[in-house]
Amino acid sequence: MRVGLGVLRLSPAALWSMTPRELATALEGALGPAPGDGAIDRPSLASLMARYPDR
């Protein structure tokens, strides 16, 4: 809410009517792309699974 109302200067109605994808696109337009795309490759996933196994 802080970013939507304060940084993007959206009205409360506009903020609450946005989809998460629309909000993410608006944030990227205002602040630039987020570091990394959130995707993880198979070797990185395997490494994490080895370090933190499910019990």
Residue 52 lies in a domain: no
38 phi-psi bin (left φ>0, alpha ψ -120 to 50, beta other): left
| Domain total of the chain | 1
The structure's pTM equals 0.58
More confidently predicted of 39 and 53 = 53
Domain containing 13: what range? 1-33
Looking at residue 46, its pLDDT comes to 95
2 lies in a domain? yes
Please report whether residue 51 resides in a domain. Answer: no
pLDDT of residue 37: 66
Q: Kindly report, residue by residue over 15-46, the tens digit of the pLDDT.
A: 999 999 999 999 999 988 877 767 889 999 99
Is residue 15 assigned to a domain? yes
Say what the pLDDT of residue 34 is. 78
Specify the pLDDT at position 11.
96
Does residue 45 lie within any of the structural domains? no
CA distance 42 to 25: 27
| 25 touches 4 (CB < 8 A) | no
